[in-house]
Structure 1
Amino acid sequence: MRLPRIVEPLRHRDFRLLWTGQTVSMVGNFVHGVALPFQILALGGGAPELGLWGAIVSASLLLFSLFGGAIVDRVPRRTAVLANDLVNGAVVSAIALLSATSQLRVEHLYLEAAVFGAASSFFYPALNALIPELVPPDVLQAGNALRGSSRQIALLAGPVLGGALVAFAGLPLAFAADAATFFVSFAALALARPPRHEPPAPAPLLRQIRAGLAYTFSVPWLWIFIFAWAVVLLGQLGPLGVALPIFVRDVLGGDARLFGLLLAASGVGEVVAAVTLAQVKVRQLGIAICGFAILGGISIAGIGVIPLVPATFVFMAGFGVQFVGVGILWTTAIQKHVPRELMGRVLSIDAFGGTLLLPIAPVVFAGIVAALGPALAFAIGGVLSLAAGALLLLVPAIRELE
């Protein structure tokens, strides 16, 4: 009996270990995502402090991303992922301890944000470049979908768990739970034994970065999408990162539990997209990616236009469909068309371009929230991202991407 396509990658032991560890780690990430804004609020902060935390993450990622990809192409991808787990686990453990002893200050959280951003500049290129080493090409899209399902499972469990921990056990325990998940992920991947590849011939780091940039800008569908996606992310992650906690509290009249449930609704949408894309082989990748981006813009705008709890659940689910849909198909396109020896650098350039506007996004949307309120922040961001996604359909290289 033939297995469903979505579970075929799990037949490969090393992929199973990676998937298990990443799923546990992402649950912790969403526990942290619930705890962080309420920790900042408990320290007397508000939208500006929330915005600055997000801006520091993005700026740090932006600063290190090009170097991260070049280094990832020099070292085993597994090693880079393991190092990320150790560093992040140690940092969040320190935050948990400081919170438990009432010594935590918002500056400590800003330092955490800087470490998160820098570590991510190595982690995401390494993770996405590692997957083709663990599964055969014929199940690569399914492998990306299944890897993406880690996020969906985490979105279903993590925010609910995080809301419960914050409400009933306290912020220090929520941070401690997140720290523990990084160490679980480290232990799982440490057992994997991916194929060994010969390292590339030694070359100056800057020369390697230039080679990655030259390749990226020689491929129209790559560089055009990267910069358009930066605008999409500005319009979507700006209001989600800054306005959503305040929108929940001031417009919907909710608390950490409702905040967690709304994030979980996004996870439901992601599950639908991941299961669908794991079963259906998409041939017109570019057109499908644009369609998902348009759906995301409509969903973000809808949160602000119809500020009701049931509608917000629906729109968060729509955002989730878009987020994982674009992620799976775009990653598959890069893995399918970019040479292996350049993949780490191209993925880092992709991350660099995608985060190009994110350092200003929290600051911009914190200002919009302060001046116009959280609902209008969602409406403005949604229209901006919708326009960017729709304009991509006018580019022949995007429409023809398979």
Structure 2
Amino acid sequence: MQVRILQPLRHRDFRLLWIGQSVSQVGNALYYVALPFQILALGGSPLQLGIGFTIFSTAQLLVILFGGAIVDRLPRRQVILASDLASGVVVGAVAVLGLTGHLQIAYLYVASAFFGVAFSFYTPAMSAIMPELVPSDVLVAGNALRGLAGQSARVVGPLLGGLVVAKAGPPLAFAIDAATFFFSFVVFFLASPPKREPPPRQSLLSQMREGLAFTFSVQWIWLTIVGFGFVNGFYFAAFTVALPLLVLNVLHGTAATFGVIGAAGGVGELIGGLVVGNIRVRRVGLAIYATQLLLGLSVVGYGIVPLLPVVLVAAAGFGWAIVVSNTLWESALQRHVPVALIGRVTSIDYFGSFLVGPVAPIAAAAAIPLIGPAGIFLIGGAIACVFSVAAPALSRSIRKLE
């Protein structure tokens, strides 16, 4: 079993990407622990917390379709390097402002907008570059290893982030994140993936139309993107706005408690990554939706009995399921979508996934006084469960996907 999941590491360029990403993901985990507590420490309200994440997702939506088209036009390595370098500079500036006492909520909003734009280029590039780094027969293992980097970071990162924020404050967590971006840039700079043939010259709008036409010609792709785009809005609201308030006001915890919950999710993700990287799945479509059903049940678990031990189990279940589902989904796209289109289809996937992202955090902030943070988890999880059962029951394309 071990040999199969480690096979992608035999390829030097993938190995360099993976090492850099593994370190950078730890920094990202620190950042997302520190961000909500920094906003609250600056006197921000739940609404202002929601606005910060709304800005991030709005920037994504405005740019990501163009990002996917550009990724299919430029060398993917250059896109990844530029994103790492610019992200390090921006989060480093946030750290300096925080450490010198000049940080304001408005500056965090500007950083959120930048990270939304950077995400719109970085994520399609990461998915699109994978077939250039490893052979097709180890794509699932390669994606699982990439996932393991994030999962390990989400075990270590929240614990470290909670400790750093509780003892030294959010600005130090931002500084550590900046350092990890620079490390990732330096390591992947050493990679030299094979050069692709330049695509035919087209306008960006023509490229985007081509990507949309392909996406909506394949039922299992568009149905999954549209359906889980709606579901992901509830997840986004729950984990960005409701969870910090659930920790503080219902569980009566601290930033350290928030970190422990994140670490529990990371443990589940770690186990999920090890499992999916070592097995062969024949009915990929059914497997994706079965794990999405577990995701919905786990989200319900956060709210149905709001006690810390129950939340920790729910977090671990969510982490396990999301890694298995996302790895199978990403690998299915990489196998069935032409290489020349993968950047655009990936960007359309993320566009759909975050389509309701801009309004979800604000809607959650408005609903929390009426139903409480636990209610956000209950409603979102229930809707996810219904869709996870209904979609494969109604779509032969999903049931037959291998």
Amino acid at match of 1:186: F
Q: 1:152-163, aligned counterparts within 5 Å? A: 152-163=151-162
Aligned Cα root-mean-square deviation (Å):
1.0
Amino acid at match of 1:339: P
**CA drift at 1:56:** 0.9
2:233 and 2:355 in contact (8 A); partners too: no
Q: Which moved more, 1:44-53 or 1:306-315?
A: 44-53
Q: Which moved more, 1:6-15 or 1:368-377?
A: 368-377
**CA drift at 1:370:** 2.3
Distance 1:316 1:46 in 2: 25
Aligned to 2:349: 350
Residues 151-200 of structure 1 show CA distances to partners (whole Å, capped at 9, x for unaligned) of 11111110111111111122221110011110011011101110111111
Helix, strand or coil: the match of 1:4? helix
Distance 1:3 1:286 in 2: 25
2:338 is aligned with 1:361: no
Amino acid at match of 1:148: G
Aligned to 2:261: 262
Helix, strand or coil: the match of 1:200? coil
**CA drift at 1:234:** 1.5
Q: 1:1-400, aligned counterparts within 5 Å? A: 4-394=3-393, 395-400=395-400
Distance 2:56 2:325 in 1: 22
Distance 2:336 2:316 in 1: 30
Residues 217-241 of structure 1 show CA distances to partners (whole Å, capped at 9, x for unaligned) of 1111111110011122122221111
Gaps of 5+ in 2: none
Amino acid at match of 2:272: A
**CA drift at 1:3:** 5.4
Q: Percent identity at matched positions?
A: 50
2:234 and 2:376 in contact (8 A); partners too: no
1:231 and 1:384 in contact (8 A); partners too: no
Amino acid at match of 2:358: P
Helix, strand or coil: the match of 2:277? helix
Distance 1:360 1:115 in 2: 19
Structure-1-length-normalised TM-score: 0.98
**CA drift at 1:388:** 2.0
Distance 1:167 1:355 in 2: 31
Distance 1:364 1:386 in 2: 21
**CA drift at 1:358:** 1.0
1:23 and 1:151 in contact (8 A); partners too: yes
Helix, strand or coil: the match of 1:279? coil
**CA drift at 1:46:** 2.4
**CA drift at 1:262:** 0.3
Distance 2:174 2:234 in 1: 29
Gaps of 5+ in 1: none
1:55 and 1:358 in contact (8 A); partners too: yes
Distance 1:41 1:376 in 2: 22
Residues 82-107 of structure 1 show CA distances to partners (whole Å, capped at 9, x for unaligned) of 11101111110111011111111111
Amino acid at match of 2:77: R
Amino acid at match of 2:157: G
Aligned to 1:401: 401
Amino acid at match of 1:399: R
Helix, strand or coil: the match of 1:307? coil
What number of residue pairs does the alignment pair up?
401
**CA drift at 1:45:** 0.8
1:231 and 1:388 in contact (8 A); partners too: no
Distance 2:322 2:290 in 1: 12
2:269 and 2:319 in contact (8 A); partners too: yes
Q: Which moved more, 1:377-386 or 1:283-292?
A: 377-386
Structure-2-length-normalised TM-score: 0.98
